[in-house]
Structure 1
Amino acid sequence: MALHLTKVAFGCDDIDVLRGRLEGRAVDGGTWINTRYKPTRAAELEGGSLFWILKHQLIARSPILGFGEAEGRCLIRLDPRVVPVRLRPKRAHQGWRYLVEADAPPDLDGAVDDLAALPPALVSALAGLYLV
């Protein structure tokens, strides 16, 4: 059972901005975000995902590829893909928090979930009204 992280997508207005930011920094099939400290459960996080919080909801995830260090900071290596997930309320926080597999929202899959065909802003508005 994989362990995941949650992190606020700071400065992003929507999922497209987040996607552009991560894909724009991609090098050799991965991108990096940095944090002050390496997660104590880093070994459990490999194979998990970093779930992005935007406007108090989990909106997407990026698979975690590994960890590194540079200039005294921890680097979290991510797959630059941004995979939309079924929206789930989540309060914003500083840094990152752990998320167990049982609490992780499922991916939106167009073949299974009609919400994937809707614009992200509409899905967000419907989720804010607790209709999805």
Structure 2
Amino acid sequence: MDKAVNLIKLSVGTENVDDLAAWQATKRAQAPDGLPRHVTRMWPKRADEILSGGSIYWVIKGVIQCRQTVTRLDEYIGQDGIRRCAIVLDPKIVRTQTSLKRPFQGWRYLPLGDAPPDLPEGRASEEPLPVELNRALAEIGVL
């Protein structure tokens, strides 16, 4: 089995993890089988590694806050006729320890060793810290 690799992506326009979940619950954000998906212009060159247990880590308001396991990559042809990649995700959103991330375009590969750990099950439903406090703590290395 290939070594897995993750993806990291900005969740543009999302205020928090609940907003991400609400967006993914809309028909527009779902694959034909009802699973959430993110359609992107580029097809990952490391698809086999992503599909070997990789996740997509979501950056919300400049902070990695959660992840979802990538279940498959589907071809998606838009109304413009251009071939795109639909990254199909497990609907379970797993909250992670927060980690600051500067803005970037598109998605990037995130090695397993660089990914923030998942929060323990009991902490997954805790109210997140305010973004400004979270960012300040991450900047000084507390989070």
- TM-score over 0.5 (shorter chain): yes
Please list the CA deviations of residues 90-111 of structure 1 after superposition, one character each: whole Å capped at 9, or x if unmatched.
1121110000000000111144
The 5 Å alignment of 1:78-93 reads 78-93=89-104
TM-score by length of 1: 0.86
Q: Which runs of 5+ in 1 are unaligned?
A: none
Q: Provide the C-alpha distance between the structure 2 equivalents of 1:117 and 1:123, rounded to a whole number of angstroms.
A: 15
The 5 Å alignment of 1:20-59 reads 20-25=22-27, 26=30, 28=33, 30-46=35-51, 47-59=53-65
Aligned length: 128
The structure whose Rg is larger is: 2
Q: Do structure 1's residue 119 and structure 2's residue 127 form an aligned pair?
A: yes
Letter in 2 for 1:51: Y
Q: Do structure 1's residue 98 and structure 2's residue 97 form an aligned pair?
A: no
Runs of 4+ in 1 over 4 A off after TM superposition: none
Q: Provide the C-alpha distance between the structure 2 equivalents of 1:78 and 1:117, rounded to a whole number of angstroms.
A: 20
Change (3 A) 1:4 1:104: same
Q: Provide the C-alpha distance between the structure 2 equivalents of 1:117 and 1:7, rounded to a whole number of angstroms.
A: 22
Question: How far is the alpha carbon of 1:55 from its aligned partner?
Answer: 1.4
Q: Provide the C-alpha distance between the structure 1 equivalents of 2:48 and 2:20, rounded to a whole number of angstroms.
A: 26
TM-score by length of 2: 0.80
Q: 2:42 touches 2:85 (CA, 8 Å); kept in 1?
A: yes
Letter in 2 for 1:119: E
Which of 16, 19, 26 is the aligned partner of 2:18? 16
Question: How far is the alpha carbon of 1:117 from its aligned partner?
Answer: 5.3
Change (3 A) 1:29 1:106: farther
Q: Provide the C-alpha distance between the structure 1 equivalents of 2:93 and 2:22, rounded to a whole number of angstroms.
A: 9
Percent identity reads 36
CA RMSD of aligned residues (A): 1.8
Q: Which runs of 5+ in 2 are unaligned?
A: 78-82
Change (3 A) 1:83 1:118: same
